[in-house]
Structure 1
Amino acid sequence: MKKVLTKLLISALSATSLTLLVGCTGDKTVNSAEQNTTDKPNIVLIMTDDQGHGDLGYHNNPIIQTPNLDKLAQQSVRLTNFHVDPTCSPTRAALLTGKHSLKAGVWHTILGRYMLGPEHVTMAEQLQQNGYTTGIFGKWHLGDNYPYRPQDQGFDEVFIHGGGGVGQTPDYWGNTQFDDTYYRNGKEEKTQGYATTVWFDAAIEFIEQNKGKPTFTFIPLNAPHGPYRAPEEYITPYLEKGLNRSMASFYGMITHIDDQVARVQNHLKQSGELDNTIFIFMTDNGSSYRPTKNDLSLTKGHEHLGEKYPNWIPNSGMRGYKVSVFEGGHRVPFFLSYPNGKLAAKDVTTLSAHYDVLPTLLELAGLPASEQDIDGTSLVKAMRQGTDESLKDRAVVVTNQRVYHPDPTRPTAVAKGDWRYIEEYSKQFLFNLADDPGQQNNVLEQHPLVAVELQNIKHQWWSDMKKAGFKDRYIGVGYEQENPVRLNAMDWMEVPEGQAVPWFIGHQAPADEWDHVHWLTKEDQYQALPWYIKAKQAGTYRIKPYYHDIPAGTPIQKKYCVIDANGKIYVERVWGRASHCVVDVQLQAGEQKISAWYTDNKKQLTKDKAAFYLYIELLSE
């Protein structure tokens, strides 16, 4: 409660008044913790990763098998014009805060640009304040260290992998989606079985343990994000249909999710909780399974599928996939079922977005509206009546930044009514989806006034976004909430032009389309770069840099370990086949930089080998 009120004060002092939604404003009613918890609905929110609009049987895909999700869709309010960001972390930030992702300070998936600052009050915190027990199971990807972790952002129970996917650099060393080690409330926990099953097992256990109390169960899955891996029994049926292994694995991951959705629904039904549960299924961006990726064909050999399934229109006929600001990159499924809410199953065509989910849930749950400066608006009226005239003139802006500092020239789309205005680098497009749902005919020259109107909306939006400040994020060290702190190379900062960040390790042979990104055995391509840290207090901090993470036990095979602590250099001898060194350094309180590497050259301290992991601990005085 104290933490939420502190956040509210911070937000109130820095709030901006301009909303991103033209023609509507965010709700500003003050929350109250004095709520009766007995009749509040439970909330289950399932969000898959990289599953596009067309990757569902319900959306006329004749190949994929998703019978349980298809049934859920039939029983739900379906937002058919629902938009998210083109990549995962920005979508998560907007979903949980009710703000545009840029205003929430999240615009990338690496480089610290994915960390959700503690000044933002999340959906979990607002529900927690109103009597809910909250849990997250799966993928967080909004910060792996204090103060950005889910346990710092309103979740009572946390069971997640690290980073943006299983096996990425922040994750536990050696994870492959099978029999992995994950993090429960910040502690390592060994598991058995396939990752998606593990998340749903934990979510169901959480629901059961808190039966009779209002719960928010957030299940943001890592699947079907690549590398595409699933239990073999889910892959084989698609191989038998003639799909290559990559596509068969991607579809197998989704069919496995479909079975798990049925499991949690059946549990709720058997426990008598299903009717009083707001049950949501959505995805975080467009499909990652697209015709080509990095000039590699993903559908090679699939020409026969068009002959076998002549009515199949891949990607729901939309242009663009994940990372694209064309429609296929950000229009995604959204199904909401709430039997006690008396919401009839229907299509709702109102233009809507991820930041609408927070105010919608608060209204459906009978809770006070958010007092935050949010960009979303409740969709309950549209869900009940099929439309909401007050929203007919709204606009939604979608951007794909993925750069160190946000840039107004990066790809951006403005949606208003049937119009889509797109700026993509030096090109401009205008499409009318009523006539051209596939966005094939640029009609900008025929409708210049429409283009100017939407361009002005984009300029207004950018002016509002700049007020947020686009802050650097610093990882807390020396705080009692997390001491020691484990840093990893996905959070390196100040990356030179042309150098990538080592974000995917590659513990087992990845699928062909992922082979180009793994850094294991390619370590010499990376030079040590700084982490941004914020020391709670001045004092002695013990530094342990590792070439590979602790479980690997990989020997350094260099003579000297070098620490650059905010410009002060420390050098320590490395002995034998040691996997790390130990260096005690003096840090002042506040924001600073730290980097670590290994060398054989004591005189010039050349950066021969980067430390991809670094543990830092405040020593007791």
Structure 2
Amino acid sequence: MKKYLLCLSAFLIAAAVKAQQGKAPRPNVIFIYTDDMGRGMLSDYGQQIVQTPNIDRLARGGMRFDNIYGSMYCAPARASMLTGYSDVRKGKFTLNRAGIYINYLQGKLTLPEVDERLAPFEQSEHPGMVLPQVFKKAGYVTGEIGKLEWGFATSRRQMAAHGWDYYYGYLDHRMCHGFYPMVMFENGEPVHIAGNTRPDSYPDSAALRNGKDKPQYAEHLFMDKARRFIVSNKDKPFFLYYPTNLPHGPVSVPAIDPVFAGNPQLTERQKMYATMVKMVDDNVGTFVRLVDSLGLSKNTLIIFGSDNGHWLYYEGRQARYDNITTRLYSDDGVDIFNGNNGLAGIKETNWEGGVRVPFICYWPGKVPAGVVNRDLVANYDLLSTMADLLQVQVPDRKDGRSYLPSLLGKKSATRDKVVFSSFMGPALVTRDGWKLRTYLLDNKNIFQLYHLPTDYREMKDLSAQYPQKVDSLKRELTKACDGQLQNGIFYFSRLPATEFFHAERAEVLQNK
């Protein structure tokens, strides 16, 4: 009998182990999504003035993606990342207008009226599963803390429909960048912040002079809530999406960090900007130490990324470039920080500096340490990768592709191309490094071809040398943009990333 029980016990243990092996891994996931963080602002990418040791620790203890593309500015980047669709697709998401919550704060609208006016932009308009719903389906607690989730204004009903168990932060883009919010929203309820008096979230200098409540800085509020969320959910799988609005301008900090205060090389605005970047790094360190202290480090995937490329908030008047034969290089004396690491262009452009972003995944014991991954990856691949990790079936066909095997150190086939929008026109990059960029402003239909592995700075246009390559990539780009071919001319509808600003422009790809 005793022998029988021992055999039965061994059988049950083996069965339990086998069943456990068949289950999806359930790591906690913390996604720190910075705003306008050019890759050159991180010391692991070569930044000299601002040191970012905590982000460097993630890169050296995890995997740094060197060939990943975001969007050309924040709103389409977030929508694309959350939906798993490229920002050139038709009918996959819509970017609305900002400012409606300013009307609420000024007493012109009630919150129910705000919800009603935002109704056309809610979940019913966006087909398929979105990122927090992937985690919900896998049994996770989901939280978003920081900048608004989607577009330029987000309704409370949409936050609930998208699967957020908890959220705290802004719901309107007009309130995001003053850093001293009059109101934050916590699970649908407005929370008034003592000391902050302006609807646009700028500090009230008159209140400061009159000795009233000290203004409260948004990033400090976010970090307090993020710590509370992690601690309160430490015993269950959680997904924390932390879209900070740093280091997006205008430059504003409670105080310049002592590291930069006495630097004669920097102006006051540059010191403030450097402080904003250092604050991001300090907060990454806070996340890592908190996870370690709770004994969660081996079961927590920390992801660090950015929505788009760099922007020069701290510089004076910028030189003009035609973005056809001339383009900005941040290391040509225009930018003291070289925030785009020598790439061409900045945010809002389809040059590499506008869309190549930093991206790091850190999961001790699971993600190989110190690996620079050169696979071609897109911002909109994250949803598919998380669904693959958690073995969640996504009902609709996304544009994203899972890079999970590569992330875990296994060989994988990378995607064959990435497409993205800009205010100049869309662009396409292939797996072997060919890039077709367009310039469609001012009734121009210009196509330029670059080979990125041999031309990091996009200085040599090869379109005249390889016309057949240009023609084939035009066709691929038009198809990716849901376009069509008629009488030798490629047409596609206004891109969702640009229609908000340029609704009057028709983008035409002409087969010349």
CA contact (8 A) 2:93 2:126 kept: no
Q: What CA distance in whole angstroms lies between the structure 2 residues aligned with 1:166 and 1:452?
A: 44
Gaps (5+ residues) in structure 1? 1-34, 169-175, 298-304, 402-409, 473-490, 499-621
For 2:408, what is the secondary structure of its paired residue? helix
Aligned to 1:30: none
Alignment of 1:147-546 (within 5 A): 149-164=158-173, 166=175, 176-178=178-180, 180-191=182-193, 193-234=216-257, 237=260, 240-289=263-312, 295=318, 314-364=339-389, 366-385=390-409, 387-388=411-412, 390-391=413-414, 394-401=416-423, 410-416=424-430, 417-425=432-440, 426=444, 427-463=446-482
CA contact (8 A) 1:142 1:148 kept: no
Aligned length: 418
37 and 238 in structure 1: CA distance in 2 versus 1, 3 angstrom threshold: farther
**Which stretch of structure 1 is more off in the superposition, 463-472 or 202-211?**
463-472
Letter in 2 for 1:415: V
Is residue 41 of structure 1 aligned with residue 27 of structure 2?
yes
Aligned to 2:97: 110
Q: CA deviation at 1:105?
A: 3.7
Compute the TM-score of the two structures, normalised by the length of structure 1.
Answer: 0.61
For 1:341, what is the secondary structure of its paired residue? coil
For 2:57, what is the secondary structure of its paired residue? helix
Q: CA deviation at 1:441?
A: 1.2
**Which stretch of structure 1 is more off in the superposition, 102-111 or 189-198?**
102-111
Pick the structure with more strand per residue. Answer: 1
For 1:218, what is the secondary structure of its paired residue? strand
Q: CA deviation at 1:156?
A: 0.7
179 and 422 in structure 1: CA distance in 2 versus 1, 3 angstrom threshold: closer
Q: What CA distance in whole angstroms lies between the structure 2 residues aligned with 1:288 and 1:226?
A: 9
Q: Which has the higher contact order (CA 8 A, sep 6+)?
A: 2
Q: What CA distance in whole angstroms lies between the structure 1 residues aligned with 2:273 and 2:360?
A: 21
User: Per-residue displacement from partner, 1:97-143 (whole Å, max 9, x unpaired)?
Assistant: 11113436446573789877353421101211221110000012525
Q: What CA distance in whole angstroms lies between the structure 2 residues aligned with 1:148 and 1:470?
A: 27
Alignment of 1:83-162 (within 5 A): 83-103=69-89, 105-106=92-93, 108=95, 110=97, 117-142=125-150, 144-146=153-155, 149-162=158-171
For 2:167, what is the secondary structure of its paired residue? strand
Aligned to 1:614: none
Aligned to 1:82: 68
267 and 180 in structure 1: CA distance in 2 versus 1, 3 angstrom threshold: farther
Compute the TM-score of the two structures, normalised by the length of structure 2.
Answer: 0.73
Letter in 1 for 2:366: G
Q: What CA distance in whole angstroms lies between the structure 1 residues aligned with 2:23 and 2:223?
A: 25
CA contact (8 A) 2:170 2:185 kept: yes
CA contact (8 A) 2:32 2:241 kept: yes
Q: What CA distance in whole angstroms lies between the structure 1 residues aligned with 2:501 and 2:290?
A: 48
Aligned to 2:212: none
Q: CA deviation at 1:248?
A: 2.2
Letter in 2 for 1:222: N
Aligned to 1:485: none
Q: What CA distance in whole angstroms lies between the structure 1 residues aligned with 2:30 and 2:150?
A: 20
Gaps (5+ residues) in structure 2? 1-20, 99-117, 195-215, 321-330, 485-489, 506-512
Letter in 1 for 2:138: N
CA contact (8 A) 1:236 1:248 kept: no
Q: CA deviation at 1:325?
A: 0.5
Q: What CA distance in whole angstroms lies between the structure 1 residues aligned with 2:502 and 2:362?
A: 45
For 1:444, what is the secondary structure of its paired residue? coil
Q: What CA distance in whole angstroms lies between the structure 2 residues aligned with 1:285 and 1:199?
A: 21
For 2:37, what is the secondary structure of its paired residue? coil
Q: What CA distance in whole angstroms lies between the structure 2 residues aligned with 1:226 and 1:454?
A: 36
**Which stretch of structure 1 is more off in the superposition, 379-388 or 264-273?**
379-388
Aligned to 2:508: none
Q: CA deviation at 1:254?
A: 1.1
For 1:240, what is the secondary structure of its paired residue? coil
**Which stretch of structure 1 is more off in the superposition, 257-266 or 368-377?**
368-377
Q: What CA distance in whole angstroms lies between the structure 1 residues aligned with 2:297 and 2:140?
A: 17
Letter in 2 for 1:370: V
Q: What CA distance in whole angstroms lies between the structure 1 residues aligned with 2:84 and 2:503?
A: 33
Q: What CA distance in whole angstroms lies between the structure 2 residues aligned with 1:313 and 1:225?
A: 16
Q: What CA distance in whole angstroms lies between the structure 2 residues aligned with 1:327 and 1:167?
A: 26
Is residue 73 of structure 1 aligned with residue 59 of structure 2?
yes
185 and 37 in structure 1: CA distance in 2 versus 1, 3 angstrom threshold: farther
For 2:240, what is the secondary structure of its paired residue? strand
For 1:282, what is the secondary structure of its paired residue? strand
Q: CA deviation at 1:294?
A: 7.2
CA contact (8 A) 2:478 2:492 kept: no
Q: What CA distance in whole angstroms lies between the structure 1 residues aligned with 2:473 and 2:164?
A: 39
CA contact (8 A) 1:353 1:376 kept: yes
Pick the structure with more helix per residue. Answer: 2
CA contact (8 A) 2:421 2:495 kept: no
Q: What CA distance in whole angstroms lies between the structure 1 residues aligned with 2:155 and 2:23?
A: 30
User: Per-residue displacement from partner, 1:153-212 (whole Å, max 9, x unpaired)?
Assistant: 1101010113226456xxxxxxx4247431111212134732112112111101111121
CA contact (8 A) 1:325 1:422 kept: yes
For 2:144, what is the secondary structure of its paired residue? strand
User: Per-residue displacement from partner, 1:483-515 (whole Å, max 9, x unpaired)?
Assistant: xxxxxxxx9x999979xxxxxxxxxxxxxxxxx
CA contact (8 A) 1:151 1:158 kept: no
User: Per-residue displacement from partner, 1:226-276 (whole Å, max 9, x unpaired)?
Assistant: 111123132771662422222222221110111111111111100011210
For 1:233, what is the secondary structure of its paired residue? coil
User: Per-residue displacement from partner, 1:48-76 (whole Å, max 9, x unpaired)?
Assistant: 11111111111101011211111111111
**Which stretch of structure 1 is more off in the superposition, 456-465 or 144-153?**
144-153
